[in-house]
Amino acid sequence: MAQQERAIRTRRAVIEAAAQVFAEYGYAAATVSDILKVANVTKGALYFHFDSKEALARGIIEAQAQQALPAQDVKLQEWVDQGLLIAHLLPRDPVIRAGAVLSSDPLGREHYGSAWPALIDRSALALAEAKERGEILGHIMPRQTAELLAASFHGVQLFSQLESGMADIEHRVSVLYEHLMPTIALPAVLARLDLAPDRGARLYAQAEATATQQPAAVG
Amino acid sequence: MAQQERAIRTRRAVIEAAAQVFAEYGYAAATVSDILKVANVTKGALYFHFDSKEALARGIIEAQAQQALPAQDVKLQEWVDQGLLIAHLLPRDPVIRAGAVLSSDPLGREHYGSAWPALIDRSALALAEAKERGEILGHIMPRQTAELLAASFHGVQLFSQLESGMADIEHRVSVLYEHLMPTIALPAVLARLDLAPDRGARLYAQAEATATQQPAAVG
């Protein structure tokens, strides 16, 4: 195994361990030594990648903000896909789940930031592009709608956590888009949108298949 | 001052003190003796009304769920008014704010409950009545939409807390309704709805004026 690949794996193991510890104890109570125990790497290896608890939280937040998605003919579908993919990943991927918890923690504003500003910027940009292409209604203001989606999505996620431990989140997020999109999309575009609860699972399966076909040029 | 009125005032003072303490320390860390100090009532008076910390939390949650609203010609306006009034009260009324925090706390499920089930029941009932009157579109399922509103509202409230300490909540909740109502209301009904950010303030002023004109028959 090449050194670069080993470094990527170590970094990922540390991020996953930190996600688990932050999710269990919360940011304030978690310690780097808790994370070391779970990650099963040396202290030196951990500190090579992340020099503090804040840096670990920032690493998780960056991973949350970096979900890549395939381009679609309808730009508005890409906007929807972002949320449906996260809804699929939240109950399955501890790093995404920890990222959501850390991003909404008021402590983060002082210590490590939040994925929300980057996610909202990207979301507003996609809406602005959809508007230029004539896909969305004229009165929609991209940033306002992007902030509303972020806030509502967060609430739906907390509600699903309380009601079902996140088991129904894909359904609830699909219901959210079903309620929002008729107000946002032109009718002809609305008819072409896929808002189904299993859309996120299909996007994830596609991304996995693509990754298998194109192995990274390392090793 | 009659005994009954004195009891009502004491109960209200205790509820307000508990709201302040729960908001500052959170449910888990708050103690009845903290609440006693803030309320400035005797231990006996407090325990006459509330026999435990759980009972105090339940008292706040009941107060949150009991916001009364004037009847409107359009039933759907009453549905919207519920949220716009709470948006107006959240930054101003510590009991409403503490109720919102307590209702979303996972600890509440074990210890004192949540206002959400009662609020969602009432909201679903109002939507069902609006549906019977032909005010809302046929595909809307009252309970599903009531749950979505509760979840989204909660997210908007947390977002507003993080962004502005709740200063912009009336605006953000108005934006939420502007995005949802075209999907819910019949076009002719939509045109008659008042979704303005200052609607909650106007409803509150009306309620205050009515209360002044009709003093309670005590004293």
CA-based torsion, A177, A181, A184, A190: positive or negative: positive
What is the mean pLDDT of the segment spanning B137-151? Answer: 97
Q: B123 vs A126, A163, B147, CA distance in Å?
A: 33, 18, 9
Which residues is A185 bridged to in the sheet? Answer: A136
pLDDT at B64: 80
Query: What one-character-per-residue DSSP string does A112-180 give?
Result: T--SHHHHHHHHHHHHHHHHHTT-B-TT--HHHHHHHHHHHHHHHHHHHHHHHTTTTHHHHHHHHHHHH
Residues B18 and B35 sit within 8 Å (Cβ to Cβ): yes
Q: Which residues of A touch B103 (CB under 8 A)?
A: none
In whole angstroms, give the CA distance from residue A128 to residue A73: 15
Residues A203 and A84 sit within 8 Å (Cβ to Cβ): yes
What is the mean pLDDT of the segment spanning B26-38? Answer: 92
Cβ–Cβ below 8 Å for A155 and B160: no
pLDDT at B214: 63
Cβ–Cβ below 8 Å for A154 and B159: yes
Q: Which residues contact B45 (CB under 8 A, 6 or more apart)?
A: B10, B14
| Residue B86 pLDDT grade (very low, low, confident, very high; cuts 50, 70, 90) | very high
Residue A176 forms contact with B (CB below 8 Å):
yes
Which of B144, B152, B184 is closest, CB to CB, to A155?
A: B152
State how far residue B148 is from chain A, nearest Cα, in angstroms: 7
Residue A195 forms contact with B (CB below 8 Å):
no
Cβ–Cβ below 8 Å for A159 and B151: yes
- Residues of chain A falling short of pLDDT 50: 217-219
pLDDT at B219 over 50: no
pLDDT at B1 over 70: no
What is the mean pLDDT of the segment spanning B103-113? Answer: 88
* Probe site for chain B from A136, A137, A143, A159 (most B CB atoms < 10 A): A159
Q: Which residues of A touch B145 (CB under 8 A)?
A: 179
State how far residue B43 is from chain A, nearest Cα, in angstroms: 34
pLDDT at B44: 93
Domain-by-domain residue ranges, chain B? 3-63, 67-213
Which residues is A50 bridged to in the sheet? Answer: none
Cβ–Cβ below 8 Å for B159 and A176: no
Check whether domain B3-63 has CATH 1.10.10.60, yes or no: yes
Q: Which residues of B touch A152 (CB under 8 A)?
A: 151-152, 155-156, 176
pLDDT at B177 over 80: yes
Q: Determine the residue of chain B that is closest to A143 in CA distance.
A: B175
The two three-digit tokens of residue A145, written as one number: 């709608």
pLDDT at B124 over 80: yes
Nearest to A57, CA basis, from A110, A129, A3, A5: A110
Query: Looking at chain A from residue 108 to 137, which residues have their Cβ under 8 Å from any Cβ of chain B?
Result: 109
Cβ–Cβ below 8 Å for B180 and A182: no
